[in-house]
Amino acid sequence: MTKKYLKEKSNYDKVPVIEISKMQQEIFQRWPAIANQVLNYLNSNDKSNGVIAIECYHGVADSLIVEQLQRYLPGIYTYSVDSFKTESEIQQIIYPDVTDDEVFGFITRLTINDYFDKNKLAAARRQTELLKDQEQLVIVYGTGASLIYPNADCIVFLDMARWEIQQRFRRDEISNLGLNNPQTQTSLQYKQAFFVDWRVCDKHKKELFEKINYIVDVNATAEPKMLKFDTYRKALELAVTRPFRVVPLFDPGTWGGQWMKEYCDLDRTAVNYAWGFDCVPEENSLLLQFGNINFETPCINLVFLESRKLLGQVVQARFGDEFPIRFDFLDTMDGGNLSLQVHPTTEYIQEKFGMHYTQDESYYILDAEPDAAVYLGTKNGTKPEEMILALQNAQTEGSVFETEKYINKWPVKKHDHILIPAGTIHCSGANNLILEISATPFIFTFKLYDWGRLGLDGRPRPINIKHGEAVIDWSRETDFVKKELINTFSTIETGDGWTETKTGLHKREFIETRVHEFSVKIIHHTNDSVNVLNLVEGREAIVESPDNCFEPYVIHYAETFIIPEAVKTYSIRPYGESEGHTCKTIKAFIRTHA
């Protein structure tokens, strides 16, 4: 039964938008209007019998979309997939990156060009030229459509967020890129998409940004929305001049809890919610609001197109067009322990998986019951070979791993901050609400012990003792953890009605965090890095520009929000129900100064 953690009505905004009110006339809704606008574009450029390349990201509902396009956009249709290599050939080229591992692969270096059969591609180009010469309107559809006819008269890009793709995997609705495998186990489809499909499609999308004429939101296939790409670019340029939030996502898990149901106002009939993804730009969406119409777009597009203004020059020089900070919730209130786990070291993740940096992280305790605890680091004097053998026996024989014989269990309370540099064994215990602040490579968790549980799909969750053994830092023992990883708070500065406290992260981690406690307006500076914040105490606060460079922005308890580096200076103060009271934020940014 759901525990009533929340005393007041939830004010958490599940549908945050970025208002683009001045451009509302530029958006086209549903397939008839979309097709009509594309035809008008061709006619206005004397290309009524030209070639339209309809590019799409992996995971769109191709058959449903083509059915609508053929109805409202008559012409001769050809398909990029017809020029792909055979499925067996594609499986052969992706195998080194997909591997036989149940969870992990290697970040691919393939491009969309590698999926095409050269002879088929050449034949498709000749056929398209022939059809165009016969004064026919030709529509080339599918991922890589613009490779069939590089000089297309109009390029339309159908885009969608990775999270929606994951839901379609779960519903057995879609296949991996170039394959027909909708019935494949969801976790294996996701792995292939993470290491191969999305990397290939992102590279291709970025190459097309200077050529696209229109972009279409097809997250809801029956209710598509289209923007001129110039309008879309202007909307994203506007987004990096102000605070904003991504659309949060929530998911159940075998250890999940009940807290988010209350505070985030979620479905009370759900079994639990384990994860709340409130700042993971690779998976979250943005909602660009044009009048009363919301255009949903992958947040990663903002990172691709506005990386320097969003991240800052110093951070962008280091991370390129990747967003390096992740905020998410781990809810174990009335739930269970997370798996006992460890994250790879930088050298290991680079060598084994092709990632540039690893998942250093921390647990900020947003809420906790009196018995809450985290497991962190090995106990003084632990013998590595003995512990590894005990983990292996638990995995192969089903025996109980005596966790507290080897691993420290630390009591925690609200507003504690636990630092977890890569290589440190850890997990949250039950009855915590964790605000996890970490670097972004979020798939790379080596589970060592899972308390004998099954996943929600009824299958044992994969255990990765071999990987874990290779990266455990055995020096992270009791004394080290107590001294360097638990509540390493130091006061930076105080003023009348406010205090700034440094809470981490560890010196081995590239993220810095500061807690600001305030009952008055407090000034912040981005200091050459994107800032990510969460209101960890107080019902609501307001973010303002000292120079009126953006409209005041109201945030609520537990909401994560992003301040682009280009904002430079901003203030936060208690607002509304919190006026006259003390609030707290935690702010994360990339260390850019010695």
Residues with Cβ within 8 Å of 423's Cβ and at least 6 positions away in sequence, in order, are: 342, 343, 344, 345, 471, 472, 473, 476
pLDDT band at 442 (very low <50, low <70, confident <90, very high): low
Q: What pLDDT is stored for residue 24 in this prediction?
A: 60
Q: Please say whether the beta carbons of 491 and 500 come within 8 A.
A: yes
Which domains, and CATH codes, for the chain?
A: 18-239 (3.40.50.300), 249-266+327-484 (2.60.120.10), 490-590 (2.60.120.10)
Average pLDDT over residues 512-518: 98
Pairwise CA distance, residues 123 & 240, whole Å: 44
Please, how many CA atoms are within 13 Å of residue 324, restricted to the half-sphere of its CB?
A: 27
Buried b (16+ CB within 10 A) or exposed e, 432-442: bbbbbbbbbbb
Q: For the chain, count helices (H), then strands (E).
A: 18, 31
Please, how many CA atoms are within 13 Å of residue 407, restricted to the half-sphere of its CB?
A: 27
Pairwise CA distance, residues 335 & 254, whole Å: 8
Strand ranges in 317-401 using DSSP code E only, listed in sequence order:
325-331, 340-342, 361-368, 373-378
Q: What pLDDT is stored for residue 458 in this prediction?
A: 80
Q: Copy the structure tokens of residue 51.
A: 């070639």
What is the pairing mode between strands 417-420 and 361-368? antiparallel
- Residue 367 pairs with which residues in a beta bridge? 433
Say whether pLDDT at 140 is over 50: yes
User: DSSP string covering 261-319, please?
Assistant: HHHTT--TTSS-B-EEEEE-TTT-EEEEEETTEEEEEEHHHHHHHSHHHHH-HHHHHHH
What is the pairing mode between strands 138-141 and 51-56? parallel
Residues with Cβ within 8 Å of 207's Cβ and at least 6 positions away in sequence, in order, are: none
Say whether pLDDT at 21 is over 90: no
Q: Cα torsion for 368, 371, 372, 377, to the nearest 10°?
A: 160
Residues with Cβ within 8 Å of 430's Cβ and at least 6 positions away in sequence, in order, are: 255, 257, 332, 333, 334, 335, 336, 337, 371, 372
- Give the pLDDT confidence of 100-132 residue by residue, as tens digits: 999 999 999 999 999 999 999 999 999 999 988
What is the pairing mode between strands 583-590 and 511-518? antiparallel
Residue among 477, 428, 52 nearest 257 (CA): 428
- Give the pLDDT confidence of 229-246 residue by residue, as tens digits: 999 999 999 999 999 999
405 or 46, higher pLDDT:
405
Q: What pLDDT is stored for residue 288 in this prediction?
A: 97
Q: What pLDDT is stored for residue 22 in this prediction?
A: 65
Strand (E) or helix (H) holding 94: helix 87-98
Pairwise CA distance, residues 65 & 304, whole Å: 26
Q: Across all residues in the chain, what is the average pLDDT?
A: 95
What is the pairing mode between strands 293-298 and 138-141? unpaired
Q: Please say whether the beta carbons of 296 and 373 come within 8 A.
A: no
Q: What pLDDT is stored for residue 1 in this prediction?
A: 33
Q: What pLDDT is stored for residue 223 in this prediction?
A: 96
Pairwise CA distance, residues 233 & 25, whole Å: 15
**How many residues are there in the chain?**
594
Q: Compute the radius of gyration of the chain from its Cα atoms.
A: 25
pLDDT band at 416 (very low <50, low <70, confident <90, very high): very high
pLDDT band at 365 (very low <50, low <70, confident <90, very high): very high
Q: What pLDDT is stored for residue 2 in this prediction?
A: 44
Q: Please say whether the beta carbons of 583 and 415 come within 8 A.
A: no
Region for 458 from its dihedrals, namely left if φ exceeds 0, alpha if ψ lies in -120 to 50, beta otherwise: left
User: DSSP string covering 504-558, please?
Assistant: E--TTSSEEEEEEEESS-EEEE-TTS-EEEEEEESSEEEEE-TT--S--EEEETT
Q: What pLDDT is stored for residue 594 in this prediction?
A: 56
CB atoms within 10 A of CB 518: 22
Buried b (16+ CB within 10 A) or exposed e, 532-570: bbbbbbbbbbbbbbeeeebeebebbbbbbbbbbbbbbeb
Average pLDDT over residues 190-211: 97
Q: What pLDDT is stored for residue 46 in this prediction?
A: 82
Q: Please say whether the beta carbons of 332 and 338 come within 8 A.
A: yes
- Give the pLDDT confidence of 289-308 residue by residue, as tens digits: 998 899 999 999 999 999 99
Say whether pLDDT at 540 is over 70: yes
Q: Please say whether the beta carbons of 566 and 532 come within 8 A.
A: no
Q: What pLDDT is stored for residue 310 in this prediction?
A: 98
Average the pLDDT over each of 288-292, 309-313, 424-428 and give the range with the smallest value: 288-292
Pairwise CA distance, residues 414 & 412, whole Å: 7
Say whether pLDDT at 512 is over 50: yes
User: DSSP string covering 449-517, please?
Assistant: E-TT-B-TTSSBPP--HHHHHHH--TT-BHHHHHHHTB---EEEEEETTEEEEEEE--TTSSEEEEEEE
Average the pLDDT over each of 295-299, 503-507, 569-573 and give the range with the smallest value: 503-507
Residues with Cβ within 8 Å of 92's Cβ and at least 6 positions away in sequence, in order, are: none
Residues with Cβ within 8 Å of 457's Cβ and at least 6 positions away in sequence, in order, are: 186
Q: Please say whether the beta carbons of 179 and 86 come within 8 A.
A: no
- Residue 514 pairs with which residues in a beta bridge? 502, 587
The whole-model pTM stands at 0.96
- Give the pLDDT confidence of 44-94 residue by residue, as tens digits: 988 878 899 999 999 999 999 999 999 999 999 999 999 999 999 999 999
Percent of the chain predicted with pLDDT > 90 = 89
CA distances from 33 to 223, 224, 267 (A): 11, 10, 35
Average pLDDT over residues 308-332: 96
